[in-house]
Amino acid sequence: MGAPHAATSDQTLDTYFGAGTGKVAQSWTVTLLNLIDGAQWHWTPGFRGRLTKVTWVTHVPASTAAKLTTITPSIGGVNVTGGVLALTTVAANTRNKELAGTTITGNNVFTATDTITLTCSSTTAFTEGTGEVQIEAINDDTRRGMGAGNMGLAYA
């Protein structure tokens, strides 16, 4: 009997080991007062993978009305389709409040040497507040290794 194959078996890494296999998180603490158009955060993960989520979590609430910035992810200088955070005073006005970016639907695959960048634009300066910008990625090198080492499980 041969190893399961993705086309003939439902045995994938997600069904065998559980959903989320290979998830990796990266985060940056941010003082909202410091956000300006063109402000950036960079991460070169060192593995092949896919960007799956961009999130903001408030630590110290913002309260001055009508402040905002748009945070857009890119990989190697090409914007990801989705993942955009529209960070406003309302979105950042409650401690531990989480704001999810738009659903990521494309241009989200990276290599071990690609740099993921988050860039601020359309900024109306905040006067207070802190929080955390978080990204989540799937490490496809881990998933491939686990699949190959475990009866040829599919890593799709």
Q: For residue range 130-141, what is the model confidence (pLDDT) as tens digits?
A: 999 999 999 888
Q: List, in sequence order, every beta strand (DSSP E) within the chain.
A: 23-31, 40-43, 49-60, 68-75, 78-79, 85-88, 98-100, 109-110, 116-124, 130-139
Annotated domain spans of the chain: 23-149
Give the Cα separation of 87 and 66 in Å (integer): 11
> What pLDDT shows up at residue 155?
45
Q: Give the predicted TM-score (pTM) of the model.
A: 0.80
Question: Side chain identity at 18, as an amino acid letter?
Answer: G
**For 96-116, how does the pLDDT look when each residue is reduced to its tens digit (9 = 90+)?**
999 999 999 999 999 999 999
Which pLDDT value is given to residue 141? Answer: 82
Q: Span 23-149: which CATH code?
A: 2.60.120
